[in-house]
Amino acid sequence: MAIVGKGFMIVWHDIKEEMEPEYHRWHTREHMPERLGVPGFLRGRRGVDWSRDQYRYLTLYEGKDLDVFGSAAYLERLNNPTPWTNKVQPAFYNFIRSGCSIISTTGRGVGGALITIRLSFDGSNEAKLEADAAALTEQIIKLDGVSSVDFGASRPEVTGAKTRETELRGLNRDGLFDAVLIVDGIGRRELEEALPAIAKILQESGWNFGDDDKAVYDMAYMLEPLGPSS
pLDDT tens, position by position, 137-151: 999 999 999 999 999
Helix segments in the chain, DSSP class H: 20-26, 32-36, 72-78, 83-88, 126-141, 156-159, 164-169, 188-204
Domain for residue 103, yes or no? Answer: yes
Domain for residue 1, yes or no? Answer: no
- The C-alpha angle 59, 42, 104, rounded to 5 degrees, equals 75
pLDDT, residue 147, reads 97
**Taking 90 as the threshold, does the pLDDT of residue 176 lie above it?**
no
Domain span including residue 69: 7-223
Domain for residue 172, yes or no? Answer: yes
User: What secondary structure letter does DSSP report for 151?
Assistant: E
Domain for residue 230, yes or no? Answer: no
Helix (H, G, I), strand (E, B) or coil at 54: coil
Domain for residue 228, yes or no? Answer: no
Mean pLDDT score, 102-112: 93
**Residue 153 host element (H or E):** strand 146-155
Mean pLDDT score, 4-20: 95
Q: What is the CATH number of the domain that holds 39?
A: 3.30.70.100
Domain for residue 2, yes or no? Answer: no
pLDDT, residue 228, reads 53
Total-model pTM:
0.92
CA distances from 139 to 136, 170, 202 (A): 5, 40, 10
DSSP string covering 1-34: --S-SSEEEEEEEEE-GGGHHHHHHHIIIIIHHH
User: What secondary structure letter does DSSP report for 205?
Assistant: T
Mean pLDDT score, 158-180: 74
Q: By the 8 A CB rule, do 55 and 12 touch?
A: yes
Residue 159's pLDDT band, with cuts at 50, 70 and 90, is: confident
Domain count for the chain, please give it: 1
